[in-house]
Amino acid sequence: MAKGLANTPRILNKIAPPCSLQSVGSLLMFTPLTNSNGWTIVPANNGTESVAVWRGYIDLAGYEIEQLTFFLQAATVLENQEINSFQFGETGTDMMECISKVRITDVDINHPWYSETNLYSPGFMDSKQDMEEILWCRYRQFYHEAAWSDTTMLRPSTTKVWGEGQATAGNRLHLTRIVKLANEQALCQIPQACFNVVGVALDEPDLEYIMRLRRDFELATQA
């Protein structure tokens, strides 16, 4: 049985920065243009959609050097740490947040989605990832009621969470945040949020560790 190196789990986190963008004519552009905070606008769903994407990672290189396996116990993007609300004018939106073993690329996101899919869904059949590669993922749909006096107000209507939540011997947890954009968007403001991961680093028996390390390497190189 794996032996823990600490009596309590480790708490790891990463702040996803905010961004603001608007449409100029038919083009979506960041405001200010010199400060996109690492966000990019990329084509999605075979070029039929536009999404804003932010990528980051949580560094596990120290565990890798010590030949430890990181076992995920809990994960989320803390909603109470989104310091502002989403603003999309009177347009609703869809958001996906993912913690994965592999990097989710622009090419992946532009892969054609199933007709019933509102946003790229890593791990499912219309994605380039297997569920084994997804530690945790959440989809949220936001809506606006025309009767609301605040024309920028959005509230969540749907939340779905998935992922195998398995352990990893890799050196990174890849973080991805995707927000669906309208082709004509007068104003879009995405608040910063905190990716929060709770887990424990364990010293596995050699054979189990080597097999896990090999599998994680295969997933990374296939991606």
Long-range contacts of 121-125 (CB under 8 A, 24+ apart): 121/96, 122/96, 122/98, 122/176, 123/162, 123/163, 123/164, 124/162
> Contact, 135 vs 166, CB < 8 A?
yes
Domain count, the chain: 1
Res 34: pLDDT: 59
As a whole number, mean pLDDT of residues 52-79 equals 88
Task: Look at residue 6 and tell me whether its pLDDT is greater than 70.
Answer: no
What's the CA gap between 108 and 165, in Å, rounded?
21
With a cut of 60, say whether residue 82 has pLDDT above it. no
Q: What is the pLDDT of residue 93?
A: 85
Q: Please check whether residue 59 is in contact with residue 115, taking contact to mean a CB–CB distance below 8 angstroms.
A: no
Residue type, 193: A
Q: What is the pLDDT of residue 45?
A: 94
pLDDT of residue 91: 73
How far CA 111 is from CA of 81, 107, 130, in Å, comes to: 31, 6, 14
Higher pLDDT, 62 or 214: 62
Quickly state the pLDDT bin for 169 (edges 50, 70, 90). confident
Instruction: Look at the block and give the residue holding tokens 């769903």.
Output: 45
Which of 20-24, 54-58, 189-193: highest mean pLDDT?
54-58
The C-alpha atoms of residue 109 and residue 52 are separated, in whole angstroms, by 11
Q: Are 30 and 19 in contact (CB under 8 A)?
A: yes
Q: Which domain holds residue 130?
A: 3-222
**According to the model, what pLDDT value does residue 2 have?**
46
SS3 121: coil
Segment 9-47, tens digit of pLDDT: 889 999 999 888 877 766 777 766 656 889 999 999 999
110-134 residue pLDDT tens: 999 987 788 999 999 989 999 989 9
Binning pLDDT at 50, 70 and 90, where does residue 4 land? very low
